[in-house]
Amino acid sequence: MTKLLLIRHGETMFNRARRLQGCKDVPPLSDLGTRQADACANYIASLNRGTITALYSSPLARAYMTASAIGKAVGLDVVTDDRLKEIDVGALEGMTWDEVQLAYPDFMVEHRADPLGPGILEEKASRMSRREHAILPTDLSAIMAMRQSSSLDMLLF
């Protein structure tokens, strides 16, 4: 039976400052994020016992750095795939939620009513579904995918 293990990237300075991260390659992992990635890698390695046979990641530095730490610990190369990237948040990229509230108050009203926004859920679900169907029907015993938070949301929704 194939198992899919989902891991979110370690902390970035944007996470710490509560800034929106989208599909642009913002600053990579913070010092804490690097320690989180290493701790996750050590934990996964302690459980692995050769059962993880593939490791996929978004090409964005924050996910790739986390995946690379795990790959090193379990002896796997990281395969990147653009379909694992975070959604494009456009002009909101890099803004804090307080800045978004000031600059786009109407957006915030809509966002609170529908956090994923019109069309975003469908677009992301379609992209993620294509990715999952491409890797899941294999005979792999366990697959790890380094994902952005909205990608995780799609699989858990």
Catalytic residue from among 11, 86, 122, 123? 86
The C-alpha angle with vertex 92 and arms to 90 and 96, in degrees rounded to 5, equals 160
CA–CA separation, 152 vs 52, rounded Å? 19
Rg (CA), the chain: 16
| Per-domain boundaries in the chain | 3-156
**CA-to-CA distance for 102 and 11, rounded, in angstroms?**
26
> CA–CA separation, 131 vs 136, rounded Å?
9
Read off the pLDDT of residues 5-38 as tens digits, 9 standing for 90 and up: 888 899 999 999 999 888 888 888 999 999 999 9
* CATH 3.40.190.10 correct for 3-156: no
User: What global pTM score does this model have?
Assistant: 0.76
Q: What pLDDT is attached to residue 94?
A: 93
Q: What pLDDT digit, counting tens, does each position of 98-154 carry?
A: 999 899 888 878 877 776 666 555 665 565 555 555 555 444 444 555 545 555 444
Active site residue 9: yes
Whether 111 sits among the annotated catalytic residues: the reply is no
